[in-house]
Amino acid sequence: MQAFISAQGLVKHYGNTLALDNVSFEVYQNEILGFIGPDGAGKSTLFEILTTLLIPDAGEASINGMDIHKDYGKIRASIGFMPGKFSLYQDLTVQENLSFFANIFGSSIEENYHLIKGIYELLKPFANRKAGALSGGMKQKLALCCALIHKPLALFLDEPTTGVDAVSRTEFWDNLMQIRDSGIPIVVSTPYMDEATRCDRVAMIHNGRIMKLDTPDNIIKGYDGKLLSITCKDRQKPKALLQNEAAITSLYSFGDALHISLNNTDASTLKLISSKLEQGMDSPYQIKEVFPIFEDCFLQLMGQMKK
């Protein structure tokens, strides 16, 4: 199957800072590829290169055969892009913003209504409200509508749900699934690990490098070793007791618990950990094996990068 979007060896520096380090990936039609990573991971830089707003220092990329260097005009006219910061005209109403973007692309709301129907119906009660007066969730719905108004070949969304409430985030992702099913490939970035499961494939990115790219299920299945969780009043106490154990690859706070990743899962290792806790803990605690989730996989990969 031929890739619809392709990137090979993308590199970008800002002074002495390496923002993108040899980034390569492919995106296929009817697919959502998610870039998951913290602030400063390189997500926005990557999106600005793919949408021809930035020129990479090295590497190539194409969208439906159009080269980001030679065909930037065609790419800009045929994709949809939502930058991380709300960038619509805040002094225009919802309806005026939609009409403006439709006119720019030589389209109309009616022409591609099937693409935006679900979102547009939610926006209708606010048609005469200025965009700047909308809630965070409604601003993102409006921005998505404007990005879809010309039926783009591909959709690029840079952290579209940051600062949006949980209900609006769920609604937004439901809309993305429908857009993907209509044949438009989507590349989306997010700092929220829970949104990774809504993607078809996920690229975990940190310090400008893709640590792993695979399906959500495969990433979780690929977790290396056993994961234990300790719940107690003072998480620093078990951390101090266990931090020098050779079988432990990482210890980190996880909500109200301490997660321990083990590379050695034999009975003697577990017995040693239990013994140290019994001898050193002076307050109640609970220890159990847990299944890893995306945060655990991400932190394990980060630890492996540092070695």
Q: What is the pLDDT of residues 30-45, one digit of tens each?
A: 999 999 998 899 999 9
Say which residue, 240 or 46, is predicted with more confidence.
Answer: 46
Q: What's the whole-number average pLDDT of the chain?
A: 90
Instruction: Quickly count: other Cβ atoms within 10 Å of residue 115's Cβ.
Output: 22
In this prediction, residues 197-221 reach a mean pLDDT of: 95
Give counts: helices (H), strands (E), the chain. 10, 14
User: Phi, psi (5° rounding) for residue 45?
Assistant: -60, -45
Over residues 76-133, the pLDDT tens digits come to 999 999 998 888 999 999 999 999 998 988 888 788 788 888 888 888 899 999 999 9
Instruction: Please report, for residues 154, 161, 174, 276, 303, the alpha-carbon distance to residue 238 in angstroms, rounded to integers and kept in the order given.
Output: 49, 36, 41, 9, 20
Report how far residue 58's alpha carbon sits from residue 235's, in angstroms, rounded to the nearest whole number.
45
Which domains are assigned to the chain?
5-220 (3.40.50.300), 224-291 (3.30.70.100)
Which stretch of 87-96, 149-158, 176-185, 261-270 has the lowest confidence by average pLDDT?
Answer: 261-270
pLDDT tens-place string over residues 164-180:
888 888 888 998 999 99
pTM comes to 0.89
Spatial separation of the C-alpha atoms in residues 18 and 205, rounded to whole Å:
13
